[in-house]
Amino acid sequence: MKIVFAGTPVFAAAHLAKILDNGEHDIIGVYTQPDRPSGRGKRELPSAVKSLALKNNLLVHQPLSLNNAEEVKVFNNLKPDVMVVVAYGMILPKSILQGPQLGCINVHTSLLPRWRGAAPIQRAIQNGDTESGVSVIQMDEGLDTGPILGSRKLSLSKRETAQTLRDQMSLIGPTLLLTVLSQIETGEVCAIKQNPSQACYAKKIIKSECKINWIEDAINLERSIRAFNPDSVMFSEFNRQRVKVWQASSIETSPLTKDIQRVGTILRANDDGLLIKCGNGELLITEMQLPGKVKMKVSEILKSKREYFSVGSMFE
């Protein structure tokens, strides 16, 4: 089949690579987000999908929007059989959705209809879900509401982060996509309508969510820390400096510390980590990042900062 591929990050590039390696389909065009400033130098860098596309001499399009007549004309002139969308980061108008002969399909990082929307990986971990997965759907004008063409389940570990879950999905998603493409080509694909009563939405992560509120339960803070690692790392203020928390685990309040009232208080500082009082339970921080530094194990930080992070000091 003639395929137009639309995607941007590394996760999307894994799917494009799988199609290219398979060799049974013809990629006639690649759509990806415009180059964005990145890194300390703020140089404009290409997306992972663009880099892979150029390496394979594919035609690359980077429109600021698809919602205009000129871009729709450019797209339709490609005459694709199907469009594959994976983490593209741009809404497709109806005029694009109706362009390909066999429609547009999307690889989504949840078991739809659960966690429709922008941040399904993060919200699944944050919610304490025990399973997730990848779905391939036929796209319509709704937000991840189209019929399901295929799905694969994954079990979530108690230490799952957004990165580890995305890595797993990067392995199963491309294979699932190839299976669905083959079924579309042969007419054997089975489209299953989503049950809207089972739907929930994974809202976009906003910056204010990333600041640790120590009044929360320790288990909820631990889940959020794992869910936002590595894309939107949680942080807290300590002595007017922002400290990023990369890894932590929740534990029940011990009898020795249950009478301490002020949340954010350092209860213990040793090679195990920093034990912090929370609204309910305690959070053991094991890996964090000081301003201008790389992330490090707390045990290493305390070798030179033990007095700085002394028992009784407080995170804000």
CB-CB contact of 172 with 111 (8 Å)? no
CB atoms within 10 A of CB 239: 11
pLDDT tens, residue by residue, 127-180: 999 999 999 999 999 999 999 999 999 999 999 999 999 999 999 999 999 999
CB-CB contact of 107 with 194 (8 Å)? no
**67 and 159 fall within a common domain:** yes
**17 and 104 fall within a common domain:** yes
- C-alpha distance across the termini of the chain, in Å: 57
CB-CB contact of 260 with 158 (8 Å)? no
Q: Which of these three, 154, 172, 202, is where a domain ends?
A: 202
**pLDDT for res 311:** 95
Identity at 184, one-letter amino acid code: I
**190 and 217 fall within a common domain:** no
What are the strands of the beta sheet with 104-108, ordered from one edge? 60-61, 26-31, 2-7, 82-86, 104-108, 131-138, 148-155
pLDDT tens, residue by residue, 18-65: 999 999 999 999 999 999 887 666 789 999 999 999 999 999 999 999
**pLDDT for res 258:** 63
Q: Model pTM greater than 0.85?
A: yes
Q: Which of these three, 202, 222, 239, is where a domain ends?
A: 202
CA gap 204, 78 in Å, rounded: 32
**264 and 177 fall within a common domain:** no
**pLDDT for res 252:** 84
**137 and 186 fall within a common domain:** yes
**86 and 230 fall within a common domain:** no
**132 and 212 fall within a common domain:** no
> What mean pLDDT comes out for the span 103-117?
98
CA gap 143, 86 in Å, rounded: 14
The CATH number that applies at residue 240 is 3.10.25.10
**pLDDT for res 257:** 60
In this model, does residue 254 exceed pLDDT 80? no
Residue 39 lies in a domain: yes
Q: Which of these three, 153, 177, 202, is where a domain ends?
A: 202
CA gap 57, 96 in Å, rounded: 24
In this model, does residue 307 exceed pLDDT 80? yes
In this model, does residue 261 exceed pLDDT 90? no
Structural domains of the chain, count? 2
pLDDT tens, residue by residue, 170-199: 999 999 999 999 999 999 999 999 999 999
Count Cβ neighbours within 10 Å for each residue of 189-209 and write b for 16 or more, e otherwise. Answer: beeeebeeeebebbeebeeeb
Res. 17 pLDDT band, cuts 50 70 90: very high
Tokens standing for residue 191: 């489209």
CB-CB contact of 156 with 132 (8 Å)? yes
The alpha carbon of 273 is separated from its chain's Cα centroid by a whole number of angstroms, namely 27
CB-CB contact of 131 with 154 (8 Å)? yes
In this model, does residue 255 exceed pLDDT 80? no
> Percentage of the chain surpassing pLDDT 70?
97
In this model, does residue 256 exceed pLDDT 60? no
The DSSP call for residue 263 is T
**276 and 240 fall within a common domain:** yes
**pLDDT for res 259:** 64
The DSSP call for residue 165 is H
Residue 313 lies in a domain: no
Tokens standing for residue 22: 């398979």
pLDDT tens, residue by residue, 64-81: 999 999 999 999 999 999
Range of the domain at 257: 207-305
Residue 314 lies in a domain: no
Instruction: Show the CA angle centred on residue 206, arms to residues 204 and 211, nearest 5°.
Output: 140
Tokens standing for residue 282: 């305690």
Identity at 242, one-letter amino acid code: R
The CATH number that applies at residue 44 is 3.40.50.170
**10 and 147 fall within a common domain:** yes
Tokens standing for residue 11: 């996760």
In this model, does residue 285 exceed pLDDT 90? yes
Strands, E assignment, the chain:
2-7, 26-31, 36-38, 43-45, 60-61, 82-86, 104-108, 116-117, 131-138, 148-155, 201-202, 235-238, 241-251, 266-270, 273-277, 282-289, 296-297
**221 and 190 fall within a common domain:** no
Residue 252 lies in a domain: yes
CB-CB contact of 69 with 162 (8 Å)? no
